[in-house]
């Protein structure tokens, strides 16, 4: 039995669909605060679904019963709330991970796979940034919470005899996403087709990976990890190029058949979209590629495909 926490969310639901297709027995734990059962409509009759909040330890304990593999994707996905609601980011990233680890240590779980984030690197001085980059210095509470979760997972795995695999993800995009820059731009242009407000100065440049490539990478590297025998390992997952916020705005406008004025907010701290926004992010994915995985789409292709998917969805 495989447990997917946050399995009704954006990435989680795509992972659940892939696992079900491969014939695995899947249990999903989700409180539906960010996800939705609609995301699981392709798989819902073939999975076990538990609606529950991972801040409640008993709920988590019940969910891991009889489980061999846990994919831990439950989290608050919004980097931007770092300044407004740090306590929520602690609860929905660190506390729930601690509860999961406490439940796993006395269970039959052999493997824990965790989706972390490129935000743990902060403003990396080495780009593309490899997994062994140091010191890790997150510049947002979100990044700090992800790094805290990684550290707890490493400690528990080494002490309590299960194996843990961490994925540090670039910006993941695709259908079913309900936050992020592409989603925001589409909604802003629907409200006002004449003008598009862009947070920051538009020169923020980051790597984007389509969710289909992401799920493929997670499952491929997990199989590789199982054969390697390591207790704990970390992989970056992203594309090999990057794209500016301005270029994303141009693609969204073009796909919507619009020609809006761009209004840049100017941003904070040298053109960032918000305080804690990493301005330049490109991950070194050579370690992931050494296992035989590579992304099918680059950042530009992933962005264009996502715009089309989101326009079709809504």
Mode of pairing for the β-strands spanning 280-281 and 205-206: parallel
3-class secondary structure, 286 = helix
Distance CA 226, CA 67 (A): 16
| DSSP one-letter string for 121-189 | GBS-SSSSBPTT-SS-B-SSHHHHHHHHHHHHHHHHHHHHS-EEEEEEE-EEE-TT--SSHHHHHHHHH
Residue 297 structure tokens:
């789409």
Query: Which one, of 304, 305, 285, lies nearest residue 295 by Cα?
Result: 285
Angle, alpha carbons 253-206-71 (nearest 5°) = 105
142 as an active site residue: the answer is yes
- Phi-psi label, residue 289: left if phi above 0, alpha if psi -120 to 50, beta otherwise: alpha
Beta bridge partners of 27: 3, 48
Q: Check if the beta carbon of residue 7 is closer than 8 Å to that of residue 50.
A: no
Q: Residues 98, 121, 133, 142: which is the catalytic one? A: 142
Annotated catalytic sites, by residue?
142
């Amino acid at each position: 039995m495989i447990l997917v926490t946050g399995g009704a969310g954006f990435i989680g639901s795509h992972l659940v669909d892939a696992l079900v297709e491969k014939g695995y027995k899947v249990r999903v734990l989700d409180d539906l605060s960010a996800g939705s059962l609609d995301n699981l409509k392709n798989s819902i009759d073939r999975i076990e679904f538990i609606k529950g909040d991972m801040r409640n330890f008993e709920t988590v304990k019940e969910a891991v019963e009889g489980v061999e593999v846990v994919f831990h994707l439950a989290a608050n996905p919004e980097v931007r709330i770092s300044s407004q609601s740090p306590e929520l980011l602690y609860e929905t990233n660190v506390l729930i991970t601690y509860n999961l680890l406490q439940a796993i240590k006395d269970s039959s779980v052999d493997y824990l796979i965790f989706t972390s984030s490129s935000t743990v690197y902060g403003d990396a001085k080495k780009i593309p940034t490899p997994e062994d980059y140091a010191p890790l210095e997150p510049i947002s509470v979100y990044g700090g919470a992800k790094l805290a979760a990684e550290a707890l997972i490493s400690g528990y795995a080494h002490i309590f005899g299960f194996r843990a695999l961490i994925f540090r993800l670039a910006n993941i995009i695709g259908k079913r996403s309900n936050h992020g820059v592409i989603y925001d731009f589409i909604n802003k242009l629907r409200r006002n087709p004449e003008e598009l407000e862009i947070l920051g100065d538009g020169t923020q440049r980051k790597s984007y990976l389509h969710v289909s490539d992401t799920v493929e990478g997670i499952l491929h590297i997990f199989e590789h990890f199982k054969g390697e025998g390591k207790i704990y390992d970390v992989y970056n997952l992203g594309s090999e190029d990057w794209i500016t916020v301005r270029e994303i705005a141009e693609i969204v406008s073009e796909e919507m058949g619009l020609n809006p004025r761009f209004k840049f907010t100017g941003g904070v701290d040298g053109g960032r979209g918000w305080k804690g926004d990493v301005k330049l992010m490109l991950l070194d994915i050579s370690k992931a590629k050494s296992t035989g995985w590579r992304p099918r789409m680059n950042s530009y292709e992933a962005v264009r495909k996502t715009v089309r998917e989101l326009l079709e969805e809504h």
